[in-house]
A and B are shown apart, each in its own frame.
Chain A
Amino acid sequence: MGLPLFSANDDPGPSFFRFSESVGLNGPAFRSDVRPAHATTVIAVRYVGGVVMVGDRQATGNYIASRDVRKIEAADRFTALAISGTAARGMEFIRMAQLSFEHYEKMTDSALSLEGKANYLSPIIQRNNLTTPLMVLPLLAGWDPSHQVGRIFEYDGAGGCYERFDYSTIGSGTPFAEGALRLGFRSDLDREAALELGALAIYEAGDNDPSTGGPDFVRNIYPMMVTITSDGFQELEPEDVASRFRVINERRTLSGGNAGGSLR
């Protein structure tokens, strides 16, 4: 690539996506009959100090393709981005988002607002989903430093962006995870309660959805758990995550696979 100089009237501004489109970094949009796998469960739960995000680790095609995929990534210090849908497009989408937020910051010497980041992603999702069959559906959660609150933004297939004030789920395990969240969510959840509810929702999805990986005690692979607070994006230690899932598993074992009369 040469030095990308633009005249004032066709300058792409601080948007990396517009820049990459204008110099052809993204490759052409195309249509095909490929039916890619769609398999994931990631949930986000809002609580008083921020947002908890939990995601399974399994990539599924016609069989299990990978057991240790990271579907939640830090898009920047205060923003987490999770993906569902086509893995290849999802990974590229995360890279595009990470780079875009940083690019904007370097170009303008100021960070995008959380809402600005959420809206920025809409046309990228729209372009991908309406011009290719390789669907991507992300979930954005972050700490909003200007309003001092955790916020969650979900998207529909056409790129529509919706803020959720309680919780959100993406992926094939959504019906089961959402069932648990609907029953367990309260607006006054603290960090511990939100983590417990999030783990439970993923456990439910892993239990019933063949394309969602639950805790894998044999290989010691557990879902990813992160919090996004005023301290930024933090991933829970693997041992911490493992013990949370062991507790749930032991309870379920004692009650014969059921929740045992209460949501736990």
Chain B
Amino acid sequence: MSNYFYVSPEQLIKDRAEFAQKGIARGRSIVAAIYDVGVLMVAENPSASLNKISEVYDRIAFAGVGKYNEFDRLREAGIRWADGTGFTYSREDVDARALANYYAQHLGDMFTEGQKPLEVEILVAQLGNKFRPTKLYRVAYEGTISDEPRFAVLGGDSETIKGRFAATEEAQESLATTLKNAVAALAGPDRSIEVGDLEVGILEDRGSRRTFLRLNDEQVSELLR
């Protein structure tokens, strides 16, 4: 007879949560915020090619922290889901809330039933129009989904960064001000982040169907000036 140790559900959940939190805490954080005419996502990311922020659909973007291979797979699944849904029905029918729910279900399943929980925390952002509101959905490693009203912080140090950003941000401001606040919150009082280590993406109406735009270093420097 093999040895079988009893582990209480409380202990199991606690162990799994600690494991996931540890993995997520290793990476750098992301701040996402709604500004006057769009949604901003800023990640501290020294890599110029391994992206944390991505376009998903016309008015939907994705951001992820934690293990790259795990959140990138979720990113790809999100793009496939969105393009597949838009192809089957109509582009209007692709809704960020539905996608965030799928992510939440998958992360929840992996947390309780998977070999190990996913060490990721993700954000689904939607730029509003006359049919849908602007939304920031944060999905945690165990599948908790939260609808963040003004801004969201993902990553290990999120509570500290959240405090810093909440202190600066009152009403919806311009892109430049929001970006400055976000970068300051990410960096904290004791250091500064080089422009080359920032990954910045926005959702903003520019007269075309697709609203996602990745800002390059020059554009970011210009806004931070």
Contacts and interface: CB of A to CB of B under 8 A. Distances in A.
Contacts of A19: 80, 83-84
Interface string B74-89: 1011111101111110
A20 B87 contact: yes
Contacts, number: 53
Contacts of A3: 77-78, 81, 102-103, 105-106
A5 B73 contact: yes
Contacts of A99: 83, 86-87
B103 A16 contact: no
Interface in B43-66: 49, 51, 54-56
A91 to B, nearest CB: 13
A interface, size bucket: 10 to 19
Interface string A98-133: 010011001101000000000000000000000000
Given A106-B56, A109-B51, A1 B88 contact: yes
Nearest to A7: B73
Contacts of B214: 109
A20 B87 CA distance: 9
Residue with the highest number of chain B CB atoms closer than 10 Å, among A3, A25, A99, A103: A3
Contacts of B76: 11, 107
27 contacts: A1-B81, A1-B85, A1-B88, A3-B77, A3-B81, A4-B80, A4-B81, A5-B74, A5-B77, A16-B87, A19-B83, A20-B87, A23-B84, A25-B84, A25-B87, A25-B88, A95-B87, A96-B87, A102-B83, A102-B210, A103-B80, A106-B54, A106-B56, A109-B49, A109-B51, A109-B54, A109-B214
Interface pairs A-B: 6 shortest CB-CB: A3-B102, A4-B80, A5-B77, A106-B79, A103-B83, A106-B55
Given A16-B83, A20-B87, 14 more contacts: A1-B88, A3-B81, A3-B105, A4-B81, A4-B84, A5-B73, A19-B84, A25-B84, A25-B88, A95-B87, A99-B86, A107-B79, A109-B49, A109-B214
Interface of B: 49, 51, 54-56, 73-74, 76-81, 83-88, 102-103, 105-106, 210, 214
Interface of A: 1-5, 11, 16, 19-20, 23, 25, 95-96, 99, 102-103, 106-107, 109
